[in-house]
Structure 1
Amino acid sequence: MLGRTLREVSAGLKQGQITPTELCQKCLSMIKKTKFLNAYITVTEEEALKQAEESEKRYAKGQPLGDLDGIPVAIKDNFSTSAIETTCGSNMLKGYVPPYNATVVQKLFDQGALLMGKTNLDEFAMGSGSTDGVFGPVKNPWSYSKQYREKRKQKPHGENEDSDWLITGGSSGGSAAAVSAFTCFAALGSDTGGSTRNPAAQCGLVGVKPSYGLVSRHGLIPLVNSMDVPGILTRCVDDAAVVLGVLAGHDPKDSTTIQDPVKPFLLPSLTDVSKLCIGIPKEYLVPELSSEVQSLWTKAADLFESRGAKVIEVSLPHTSYSIVCYHVLCTSEVASNMARFDGLEYGHRCDIDVSTEAMYAATRREGFNDVVRGRILSGNFFLLKENYETYFIKAQKVRRLIANDFVNVFNSGVDVLLTPTTLSEAVPYLEFIKEDNRTRSAQDDIFTQAVNMAGLPAISVPMALSNQGLPIGLQFIGRAFCDQQLLTVAKWFEKQVQFPVIQLQGLMDDCSAIFENEKLASVSL
């Protein structure tokens, strides 16, 4: 049952093949077996079982609330959850228990979803590997596939071979690991520059970044208000569409959400793509792109063309400026948002009481890691009176040019853009940490962050396994608020490529044997 799609499990619940409590217990068992992945910060076992009991009563009456009733889900730990600790992976918020639910969390509860727990992340979602939170790094479940381990045996290891596991991507790596390890059927992430799509690609999942304003940000502890979007991680496109249909819509608590009512995201089975025009941005063919990802990108374009779609090369001329532009705008908003954590208003407070200034400094030194402090310092520099026009205002102008590039391409007749999601497959942790956080983020978000600056919808869909047996995903980008069309195209592509996501099922079923006395054992898929 854990390997089925969300809709299949929902049907199974309605037919009495399994009860919500039994399903919940299976997922809780998987969480315990895969604890070594460090996907969860908080496991909400008591809450989940209570919700399952209520769901069971509704099914007994033949009155389920919808397709999510009784379905286990996980929530990234930067979404507010009433009476459940919300830390953002930081010492600054350890012990913080919100008095309310984020709108997206409440919408899931209103549909009967079961909360399995709060997932791990980079501190305050600042990172691309899920390696920089105070609760430790998240491990990619694909690290333990037989094919990958056999390939790694052929290469020299460091002193500790057990540390040679793969990153999940970030910052929503905990949510990605939770879904790919079959501990839940869907998880919420947040996406500011690729933080949902990046781990989706590296964990063999579907990762959706909705149009800005389609889904409420109320209760999502902000990183960059003008770019943050709640993201969705699932094992197939249809499942993502179900969740998006529940989450989308106007929220009076978020003035940036759309006013018009949103219809359910029912995806038709697209059979004819001959009327589609697929754009291939030439600027995304960068030297750092791995040969395997480039080859799959080409094969995907050829697939569309062979089925009658029009595939053309397009230009997004300001792409080369997007990373620098994103850095200026991101750190500027980070500096503004993090100012509230001062020891007086919100968050951790140190014991120093020599002076207010000393208390501020010590509180923020103890509460934030080097990554967060570095971004705050950069942002405050860009926002200085003497620098404001030179950096922040110019970056806003460049952001408009980047957004206009997408508008011009879509106005030329292109329906969907096809790009890589990441430069390569997931990399080993020991290799990943050789670079600093800022450099890693700039490299890993190269194909994703421009979408956030333009407010467009995007989805990462797994296509194939690399030579090392690791997943590689490709990204589809759509017109603003044409999320349903985008997901329909992604569903067609998913059906054509038949990515073997179920391969992880065998691995996770036997994962209790993976570690014996904290040492890696032989695992086969």
Structure 2
Amino acid sequence: MLGRTLREVSVALKQGQITPTELCRKCLSLIQKTKFLNAYITVSEEVALKQAEESEKRYKQGQSLGILDGIPVAVKDNFSTSGIQTTCASNMLKGYIPPFNATVVQKLLDQGALLMGKTNLDEFAMGSGSTDGAFGPVKNPWSYSKQYQEQRRPQSNRKREGTDWLIAGGSSGGSAAAVSAFTCFAALGSDTGGSTRNPAAHCGLVGFKPSYGLVSRHGLIPLVNSMDVPGILTRCVDDTAIVLGVLAGHDPKDSTTVQDPVKPFTVPSLSDVSKLCIGIPKEYLVPELSSEVRSLWSKAADLFESAGAKVIEVSLPHTSYSIVCYHVLCTAEVASNMARFDGLEYGHRCDVNMSTEAMYAATRREGFNDVVRGRILSGNFFLLKENYENYFIKAQKVRRLIANDFVNVFNSGVDILLTPTTLSEAVPFLEFIKEDNRTRSAQDDIFTQAVNMAGLPAVSMPAALSTQGLPIGLQFIGHAFCDQKLLTVAKWFEKQVQFPVLQLQGLMDDCSSVFENETLPSVSVKQ
């Protein structure tokens, strides 16, 4: 049951094959069995069980709220949840309990979804590996897949070093790990420069970033207001479309959302792609791209071409400036957004027996990690009066050029852009942390962050397994507010490649031997 799609489970619930409470308990059990992944910061067990009981009553009375009624979901821990701790994986907000739900969370709950818990991330979503949070790193479920184990070591040698595991990607790595390990059927992430698509690629999932303004940001604790969007992580395109249909639309609490009513999202099965024009950006063929990803990218283009689609090389000439531009704009907005965490109203506060200025400094030093403090310092430097024109204003101008590159390509007749999502498959933790956070993020966001600066929809699709048995994702980019068309093409691609399901089942029965040297992180449970 846990490996089925949202629609299949919804049908099973309606037909009484399983009850919401039984389904909820199965997911809670698996959360505990896979706690070594550190996917969750807070498990809302009692909340979820209460929601399941209410859902069960509705089903018995024939009053189901819809397709999500009784479906377990998870939410990244930078979305506000009423009565449930929201930390952003930071000591600054450890113990903070919001008085309201983020709009996207409320929409899920209004449809009867069961909130299993809040998922782990890089602190304040600043990172690309989910390794820099206050609650420890997230482990990629594929580290423990049968495919990867067979490639990495003989069956006779099951012991492993405690750090011999793969990153989940970031910053929404907890949400990706939660879905990939079958502890929920869908999860919310946030996407500022690729933070949903990156972990989706590493964990073999569909990771969708909607057009900016299609989904409300109200209650999403901001990183970069002008680029942040709620993202969706699922195991198939149809599930993504179902969740998007619930979340999309105008929100009076968010002035950046679309004003016009949003039509229901349906993703038809596309049988003929001969009228499509697929663009391949030549600037994305960078030297750092692994040979396996490069080969898979080429094969995907050939797949479309052999099916009758027109595949052409296109140019996004300002791509080489996008990482630097993104860094300036990101840190500038971070500096502004993080100013609210001063120890006065909510969150961490240091010893108050000192001057106000000293209390500010000490609170922020204790509450933020080095990554967050570094971005705040960089952003404040760029925003200094003597630097503002040379850095922030120029970056805004470059951002416009980058956005115009996409507009020009789509106006030339291209329907969808096909690119890699990441430079390579997921890498081992010890290899990942050799580089500092800023360098890692610049490398990992190379194919994804320009989309956020342009406000376009994009989706990472699991395309194939590498020679090591690990997922490789490819990215599809669409024109602004053509999200439905983008998902329709992605669904066609999904059907062609038939990506395999992660084989974790059975492995859980002998966790003690496989994870003998693993340090199992504690998981807090909301009572």
**Residues 7, 67 of structure 1: 8 Å contact kept:** yes
| Secondary structure of 2:12's aligned partner | helix
Q: Say if 2:447 is the partner of 1:450.
A: no
Q: Deviations over 1:277-305 (max 9, x none)?
A: 00000000000000000000000000000
Aligned to 1:419: 419
Distance 2:112 2:517 in 1: 38
Aligned to 1:519: 516
Aligned to 1:241: 241
Distance 1:517 1:325 in 2: 44
Aligned to 2:148: 148
Aligned to 1:74: 74
Q: Say if 2:440 is the partner of 1:440.
A: yes
Q: Deviations over 1:16-48 (max 9, x none)?
A: 111101100110010010000000000001000
Q: Deviations over 1:297-348 (max 9, x none)?
A: 0000000000000000000000000000000000000000000001113321
Q: 5+ residue gaps in structure 2? A: 519-527
Q: Deviations over 1:44-87 (max 9, x none)?
A: 01000000001011111111111100000000000000000000
1:516 positional shift: 4.1
Alpha-carbon distance change, 10 to 509 in structure 1, aligned in 2, over 3 angstroms: farther
**Residues 55, 112 of structure 1: 8 Å contact kept:** yes
Q: Deviations over 1:471-510 (max 9, x none)?
A: 0010000000000000000000000000002x33xx1443
| Secondary structure of 2:329's aligned partner | helix
Give the root-mean-square deviation of aligned CA atoms: 1.4
Aligned to 2:328: 328
Aligned to 2:256: 256
Distance 2:108 2:413 in 1: 36
Aligned to 2:461: 461
Distance 2:514 2:83 in 1: 35
Q: 5+ residue gaps in structure 1? A: none
**Residues 514, 520 of structure 1: 8 Å contact kept:** no
**Residues 103, 217 of structure 1: 8 Å contact kept:** yes
Distance 1:214 1:516 in 2: 47
Aligned to 1:186: 186
1:163 positional shift: 1.1
Distance 2:160 2:445 in 1: 29
Distance 2:99 2:146 in 1: 45
Aligned to 2:525: none
1:518 positional shift: 4.6
Count of residue correspondences: 515
**Residues 382, 392 of structure 1: 8 Å contact kept:** yes
**Residues 181, 508 of structure 1: 8 Å contact kept:** no
Query: What is the TM-score normalised by the length of structure 1?
Result: 0.96
Aligned to 1:115: 115
Q: Comparing 438-447 with 351-360, which one deviates more in the overlay?
A: 351-360
| Secondary structure of 1:419's aligned partner | strand
Amino acid at match of 1:280: I
**Residues 39, 175 of structure 1: 8 Å contact kept:** yes
Amino acid at match of 1:222: P
Distance 1:513 1:260 in 2: 53
* Runs ≥4 residues deviating over 3 A: 515-518
1:520 positional shift: 6.2
Q: Output aligned runs, 1:97-496, within 5 Å.
A: 97-153=97-153, 161-496=161-496
**Residues 160, 515 of structure 2: 8 Å contact kept:** no
Aligned to 1:96: 96
1:151 positional shift: 2.7
Aligned to 1:21: 21
| Secondary structure of 1:162's aligned partner | coil
1:358 positional shift: 1.0
With a CA cutoff of 8 Å and minimum separation of 6, indicate the structure with the bigger relative contact order: 2
Query: What is the TM-score normalised by the length of structure 2?
Result: 0.96
| Secondary structure of 2:98's aligned partner | coil
**Residues 237, 487 of structure 2: 8 Å contact kept:** yes
Amino acid at match of 2:348: H
Q: Percent identical across equivalent pairs? A: 87
1:511 positional shift: 1.5
Distance 1:161 1:152 in 2: 12
| Secondary structure of 2:118's aligned partner | strand
**Residues 249, 257 of structure 1: 8 Å contact kept:** yes
Distance 1:359 1:207 in 2: 41
